[in-house]
Amino acid sequence: MSRTEQEVRQLYAEANRMPAGPAKFAALEQAARHADALGLVEFAFEIRMRSTSVFHNNGAAQKAMVAFSWCLAAYDREPERFGGWSERSLLWNLKWMIYNVHQFPEIPLRHALDLLEDMERRYRRGGHSMHAVLQHRGLIAESVGELEQAREHYERMARAPRDHLSDCAGCVPSSQTRTLVALGRDEEAIEVGEPARTSYCSDQPQWINSELLLPYLRTGQPHKALEAHRTAYRRIREKPYHLAELALHLMFCVHTGNPERGLDLVERHLHWLDSPRTPLADADFCAAAVAVLRTLQERGEGDRPVRSRAGSAGGRGAVTVASLAAGLRERALRLGERFDARNGNAYQGERLRRRMAAGPLGEPLPLHVFHPAAHSAADPRARRIRELVENVAALTAAGEGEAAAVARLEAAEALLDAGRGEEAAEAAEEAVREVERLGLGGHGPRAAWLLVRAHRADGNRQRAAAVLRDLVEGTAPDAVLDGLPSRPGLEEDLGHLLTDAGDRHRWFLSASLGYAAAGRTEERLRSLVMALRTADGPEALARAASAAEAAVTGPGVGALRAAHVRLVLADVLRDAERPEEAAAQLEAVRKEPPGSGPEYREVLARALTALGAVRFRLGEHGAAEETARAALALGTDDDWTAAVTLVLALRARGAAEEARAVMEAHGLDEEDVDEENLDDC
């Protein structure tokens, strides 16, 4: 179907507002195709340049390369057609393409090298530094096993001046650290990388912290490695883009004698292999996961079941540690063979085999939920947390799994009470996994509710909503859960956490019905108000309006509370262009006075003011005048809209002098006396 330019621009704007993911990718591609069809070359260029960034930063490397190639070709054909920003953006994005292209074994290595040559030509032609060129030459050389070339490019890059096309102050040391680690220069890697641990961009500080894990361990600094692991993992756990960095954290678990933690990460992230960012990241993760699983096999746990929501990556039917290890080993080796065939050497295959065979480095490093150096020992809450964590460690070492899991819950609760939401969320996640692994169903709801609260305290509403939805949908409507809100209370909380209006409305309305069944009138009305405000569409509004009418006319509802609900319902009905029904709700407030005193006058004045505005909009000028006068007679502070309504109604019947007197009495000017202002009441 053909689209107008305005429609395509609207489609593009809507795509930009969507969260990252397949739906956003498809919408951007669709907008670009429609722009092509209309011959909007500059706009198609703008869409694809934006898309290149979105695709690259969200793990869709192949889509990024396609969009970028179109832009580069269009610019080379007609450079004068595009704005001055275009060349700089293209040169910046060219680095991303080179970073990605060598990670696909089906793309000939010659193509990556040709891109490097093209990058250097373009940078030299523009008078730019070779700093970024040398950085990416080094990364490709390291990736294909040309370590002497990687060393040479690293040293030349270190001498080259930085400019506006160089990567940021965090990403440059990250790539340098990667090269130095490959060269076995751990102390130098730490020296170069550590200053970047406080930098921030879309890749930082998680990239540099991940690259420093192995150097820290090999140089006898396990606690720095632990801190880097925790800091980085918190930032990558929601982003499949960081699949390769996640592999480094799996190896950290292997090297520190923590295969249980490694298995937790494998189970949680195995589904990322269903759509890996690049084949090289795929191979890295598979090999690291094999190292974790092999360690467990060697402890006699090959038959242990693996829980995952992966598709093809996890296999079909029941998956065990042994069967998953075999499948991922085959996958990693197959990918390694493809890279070796492309590169003309055995470097990647051998690197993956070494990774799969890796074991502990030094003494085991306990991974507790609390780092003792992080908070003052003089803090009573810190001491309490330390005691709880030590108890977790002692119970775990004694093989008392159930008691250790319960102790984890207590430690997470203490962290949450101490205002340490990020640590509480991590501890709660560990507790939830232990409860699930051990089949401790009686502790499941408590653990899940703790995790919801921890995620919310940590500012991660999306994860909190996901966990709470699972908890609500897995709880019987009449269940009474120790230490948790009632089922309607959980539903109401879920409504507040969600972002989609339809979802929010559904849960608020369900909560109101649950509260009604339990005879909890105040909570029922509270959730009904939210259901009304989130009603999206006539069917949802009809359901909420019917429920609200039943509530306010039922037993046990005071006139004042009923009036508040009717005011909200009237406002929603008016916004839905149903003024007659809105007027009926406001008339009901007028006929059933909510009480006496200042609060009574305020609520009644609000109802009369809104009613006067609705009557005027309906063309009932006499009724509007009468109602506005009644609102003003109550003498509340907020009488501006009622005065505007009265002036408009007087003018409508030709009483200009009287209207002018009202304006003077209430300090109105001509700009105030506008029908559009009635929409604000």
407: closest CA among 385, 392, 422, 429? Answer: 392
336: closest CA among 295, 287, 292, 290? Answer: 287
In a domain, 499, yes or no: no
Q: What total number of domains does the chain contain?
A: 2
CA angle 596/602/607 to nearest 5° reads 105
393: closest CA among 364, 415, 414? Answer: 364
* pLDDT at residue number 681: 52
* pLDDT at residue number 197: 87
Output the six-digit token pair for 247: 């592999």
- Using CA atoms, how far apart are residues 433 and 408, in angstroms rounded to an integer? 11
- pLDDT of 14 > 90? The answer is yes
Same domain, 250 and 269: yes
In a domain, 167, yes or no: no
Largest CA-CA distance found in the chain, in angstroms, rounded? 96
Q: Which of 337, 364, 391 is the last residue of a domain?
A: 364
* pLDDT at residue number 47: 97
pLDDT in tens, 606-615: 999 999 999 9
CATH number at residue 452: 1.25.40
* pLDDT at residue number 164: 92
Cβ-count burial of 106 within 10 angstroms (0-12 exposed, 13-18 middle, 19+ buried)?
exposed
Same domain, 248 and 278: yes
Range in 82-96, 294-308, 364-378 with the lowest mean pLDDT:
364-378
Same domain, 357 and 280: yes
Same domain, 395 and 359: no
Confidence band of 437 (pLDDT split at 50, 70, 90) = confident
Q: Which of 434, 465, 484 is the last residue of a domain?
A: 484
In a domain, 513, yes or no: no
CB 490 within 8 A of CB 484: yes
pLDDT, greater one: 547 or 677: 547
* pLDDT at residue number 379: 74
* pLDDT at residue number 367: 75
Full-model pTM: 0.73
What is residue 369's DSSP assignment? Answer: S
Same domain, 355 and 425: no
- pLDDT of 456 > 60? The answer is yes
pLDDT, greater one: 200 or 264: 264
- Mean of pLDDT values over 108-137: 96
* pLDDT at residue number 422: 81
Q: Which of 469, 484, 499 is the last residue of a domain?
A: 484
Rounded to the nearest integer, the mean pLDDT of the chain is 90
Cis peptide bond upstream of 445, omega within 30? no
* pLDDT at residue number 347: 97
* pLDDT at residue number 427: 84
Same domain, 386 and 421: yes
In a domain, 204, yes or no: no
Neighbours of 476 (CB within 10 A): 8
Q: Report the residue count for the chain.
A: 681
- Mean of pLDDT values over 425-431: 84
- pLDDT of 371 > 80? The answer is no
CB 586 within 8 A of CB 597: no
Domain that holds residue 393: 375-484
In a domain, 454, yes or no: yes
427: closest CA among 460, 385, 387, 395? Answer: 385
* pLDDT at residue number 145: 95
Same domain, 360 and 391: no
Share of the chain above pLDDT 90, in %: 67
Confidence band of 373 (pLDDT split at 50, 70, 90) = very low
CB 198 within 8 A of CB 227: no
pLDDT in tens, 36-67: 999 999 999 999 999 999 999 888 999 999 99
Neighbours of 114 (CB within 10 A): 12
Confidence band of 366 (pLDDT split at 50, 70, 90) = confident
Same domain, 329 and 356: yes
Same domain, 350 and 257: yes
Same domain, 359 and 393: no
In a domain, 301, yes or no: yes
pLDDT in tens, 296-316: 999 999 999 998 766 656 555
- pLDDT of 372 > 70? The answer is no
- Using CA atoms, how far apart are residues 342 and 344, in angstroms rounded to an integer? 6
- pLDDT of 588 > 70? The answer is yes
What is residue 204's DSSP assignment? Answer: B
pLDDT, greater one: 136 or 478: 136
String of DSSP letters for 120-169 = HHHHHHTT--SHHHHHHHHHHHHHTT-HHHHHHHHHHHHHSPP-TTS--T
* pLDDT at residue number 370: 44
* pLDDT at residue number 390: 83
Same domain, 347 and 382: no
Range in 135-144, 198-207, 320-329, 610-619 with the lowest mean pLDDT:
198-207
- pLDDT of 369 > 60? The answer is no
In a domain, 253, yes or no: yes
- For 212, phi then psi, to 5°, come to -85, -10
- For 554, phi then psi, to 5°, come to -85, 175
Same domain, 472 and 390: yes
* pLDDT at residue number 399: 78
In a domain, 380, yes or no: yes
